[in-house]
Structure 1
Amino acid sequence: MSATDPTRHASRTARGAAELKLGEAAIGLLRARLPEIAGLTVTAIIVEVPGYTNALAGPMGAKIENAVQFALGGFLRLASSGEPGTPLAPTLEAAYVLGRGEARSGRSMDALLAAYRVGARVSWRELSRTAVEASLPADTVAKFAELVFAYIDELSAASVSGHTDELATTGRVRQRYLQVLSRSLLQGDTREHLIAKAEQADWDPPRTLTAVILPSAHLRGVLGALDPRTLHPDDDLADLTTPDPLGEEDPAELGVLLVADADGSARTTLLRTLRGRQATVGPAQPWTTVRTSYLRALQARRLQLTAGADAVVDTESHLATLVVTSDPTALDDLRRQVLAPLADLRPATADRLTETLREWLLHLGRRDDVAAALHIHPQTVRYRMTQLRQLFGPRLDDPQVILDLTIALSAKAPLEPARPA
């Protein structure tokens, strides 16, 4: 039970009980009517509080009726004792447990507090009628009313404490399960294990998940605008990545979001939400294979792809670059191989011809377009292409060589033709 739980003290109710003199006849009459009063209270709650219309029907209604009768019995023990030291712990403990049970059932405290208000009204109506039948003086009836409502306040406070404690406990446990699930998703756990962990975390799987990498400082600012099923691993990127470098970025300052159902038109909304937050967005994937999305976003982050000052790096717009850079060492080997005819040239000459060859491939041999891209005269392009044809010979007419050259030169990385030993 909570350290601040109201079952530890009941001073207001106890003081009222010490001042109340009901007499044996009135107490006996009140006790005899307890079952009837409890039944009327439960009926009123079912009618007036929508959250309990179905919950209190059938066997559950009988249990709650017994609980109401127990609470009223505790009240009468208190009222009949005339002693401020009469223990309230049993009834307040029951109210505390009731609050925890409501939280576990998924109901908010609004319904329970409404039930207490209805219960207080109905109980007092019936108790006061009985007090009048017992010919209690008006001042005693007034004190009796004060004690009834003080007692209901104590019960309400105990239930609120129980509800709060249960939510805190289950919330922490669920959060731990969600963290386990998030890490398993990023590590590429098996589908069977992921489904089991989702069930354990009481997480309703979406159709797709999309990995987003962004500075940790921006995480909280976007979470409120995303699907509630979005997962946010507590680990920073330093704990989630392999030792591969992330350029000049510190992995410890980056975080990950696994955004639920951000595919199709929803992706446009996601990109707009992330604008200006230095985010990199992977592709939407079936939720059990979101590791693919995460690895692609990570690769794009490592390549330091840019998309303007405030734009988001959308990996779907950089697929060709991601493909040709997926194996950097193979790409380096391909470059050296296809640019071997330039190996004996002076570096400055080799660089100019390589740049011209790249633009010639990208512009499908259109001389004027190549000249415009390089800011040179079309005749200069013609001269350089003559040099290249002399160096490469008939290979520039070979489709396979053209494909290899296109791939090798497509990514703008340092181009270093092999040099003679």
Structure 2
Amino acid sequence: MRAFEAVPAWVARRLRPHVHRAADEVLNELRRGDPPVGEEEAGRARAGIVAGIRHFCDLVEDPGAGWERVSAFYLRVGRHLARDGRDPVEVQQALRRSALAAWRTLAAVPGGLDLDLEALSLVVDAQFGYMDAVSEVIAAGYAAEVAARADGAADLAERRRRARLLHLLLADPPADEARVAALAAEARWPLPATVAVAVARQRTEGGGRTPVVAADGLLCDFGAPEPCLLVPDPDRPGRPRLPEALLRDWAVAVGPAVPLARAADSLRWARETLSLAARGVIPDGGLIRSAEHVPALVISRAGELIDDAAATRLAPLSTVPPARRERLAETLLALLEHNFNAADASRRLRVHPQTVRYRLRHLQDLFGDDLRDPRRCLEMELILHARLVNRGAAR
């Protein structure tokens, strides 16, 4: 914008007060044209003429800083044109009209142009340089927006392909391997050896929006009725991590790592784990791993079988009053879990070790040789765990 440095500053001072009148005059000519412009187009044309004259004045008054404001304005104009599906030629026409209006106004104001030939040449050079530079900036903004929209469309298409791939991998029975490989190639997702599947549930109804899980390599679909994710090779170092924001707003349960063809098995365990967490049987803070809750999962599957076994295996407790029966049952489970170590069991129960030893003697009187039979002990431990699971579910 060097040409503007030599243009007399009074040119801008004379032009500014007449900007709107100049725009109206050009607009009236457009309305009388053949064909006449419509009201919407006329409004845009007038705004373009006003902006063009004002920006020209800005550059005359301050060629350096003025250009930064002008270029930022027309860069946004170029982007808006692309978003609205309009042609950049529309703004270039407005620039030519604003140049015409500026010349007419300068010629009509009292005192006229009052420019010698050299100064007149500088104004002409500045005017043409301004239109060329602005046209380039508009074209750059337009191209940037078109490219951004193309990238966004490509990203959306890839996310959709990956969502389809996710549901194909979770199919039961497993989908055809060739079909899986073809869709994985389209989605640019390398097929891993093992996977772990996670399911998610919002902690509050209607609280928060659908999360954007940006970790590379994860497959996810939070738009599905049952939001789920798939983690490739979960046991390898540097595996994708779930964002903290997701774990804060959503309860997420992840199934065990399995071969790719058995992804549906990992999904099934993840579902059961999340169900137990929803019922309050297991904690639902952070990432809930099914591998850390195997007893509760096994017991939840056993159902009636464990209820029937309890009637036999825990029959000796039925001879004890209810309040004492519960204390003895809790103590028996703690002892079974800690290999009958009274000190460890007392820390678990938060009672004195001597209390645990006293209860152990009572349990030995009730159960006799069953407490020395490893198989019977395992059965009783599972049954007592089931009682805790059912109690948690009832709560």
Shorter-chain TM-score category?
0.5 to 0.7
Choose the corresponding residue for 1:215, options 181, 188, 202. 202
- Partner AA of 1:231 in structure 2: L
Aligned: 1:263 with 2:224: no
- Partner AA of 1:213 in structure 2: A
- Could you say which residue in structure 1 is the equivalent of 2:219? 231
Partners of 2:181 and 2:235 in 1: how far apart? 21
Partners of 1:165 and 1:377 in 2: how far apart? 70
Pair 1:302–1:209, CA change in 2 (3 A): closer
Contact 1:6 1:157 in 2 (8 A): no
- Could you say which residue in structure 2 is the equivalent of 1:339? 314
Pair 1:205–1:373, CA change in 2 (3 A): closer
Contact 2:170 2:263 in 1 (8 A): yes
Partners of 2:124 and 2:289 in 1: how far apart? 75
Q: Deviations over 1:272-300 (max 9, x none)?
A: 77665563341344555443333323222
Q: SS at the partner of 1:257? A: strand
Partners of 2:122 and 2:246 in 1: how far apart? 68
5 Å-filtered alignment, 1:1-400, equals 4-7=84-87, 9-12=89-92, 152=136, 155-156=139-140, 159-160=143-144, 162-188=146-172, 189-190=174-175, 192=177, 193-205=179-191, 208-211=195-198, 213-215=200-202, 223-224=213-214, 227-235=215-223, 239-240=225-226, 255-260=227-232, 262-266=234-238, 270=242, 276-277=248-249, 279-282=251-254, 283-286=256-259, 289-304=262-277, 305-307=281-283, 311-340=286-315, 342=317, 347-348=322-323, 350-367=325-342, 370=345, 375=351, 376=355, 378-389=357-368, 394-400=369-375
- Partner AA of 2:213 in structure 1: L
Pair 1:284–1:398, CA change in 2 (3 A): closer
Q: How far is the alpha carbon of 1:352 from its aligned partner?
A: 4.8
Q: How far is the alpha carbon of 1:327 from its aligned partner?
A: 3.4
Pair 1:299–1:234, CA change in 2 (3 A): same
Contact 1:210 1:285 in 2 (8 A): no
Contact 2:331 2:356 in 1 (8 A): no
Q: How many residues align?
A: 276
Choose the corresponding residue for 1:404, options 379, 385, 388. 379
Q: What are the ranges of 5 or more consecutive residues in structure 1 without an aligned counterpart?
A: 21-136, 241-254, 416-421
RMSD: 4.5
Partners of 2:250 and 2:138 in 1: how far apart? 52
Contact 1:5 1:158 in 2 (8 A): no
Q: SS at the partner of 1:318? A: helix
Q: How far is the alpha carbon of 1:170 from its aligned partner?
A: 3.5
Q: How far is the alpha carbon of 1:382 from its aligned partner?
A: 0.8
TM-score by length of 1: 0.50
- Partner AA of 1:197 in structure 2: L
Q: What are the ranges of 5 or more consecutive residues in structure 2 without an aligned counterpart?
A: 1-80, 101-120
Q: Deviations over 1:132-189 (max 9, x none)?
A: xxxxx99998877666656655654554454344334434433332332233334444
Identity of aligned residues (%): 22
- Could you say which residue in structure 1 is the equivalent of 2:103? none
Contact 1:5 1:161 in 2 (8 A): no
TM-score by length of 2: 0.52
Q: SS at the partner of 1:213? A: strand
Contact 2:336 2:381 in 1 (8 A): yes
Partners of 1:138 and 1:373 in 2: how far apart? 91
Pair 1:222–1:381, CA change in 2 (3 A): farther
Partners of 1:311 and 1:14 in 2: how far apart? 58
Q: SS at the partner of 2:198? A: strand
Q: Deviations over 1:292-351 (max 9, x none)?
A: 33332322222225458x654333322333333333333333333433455676655654
Q: SS at the partner of 1:263? A: coil
- Partner AA of 1:5 in structure 2: G
Partners of 1:275 and 1:11 in 2: how far apart? 49
- Partner AA of 2:85 in structure 1: D
Q: How far is the alpha carbon of 1:196 from its aligned partner?
A: 2.9
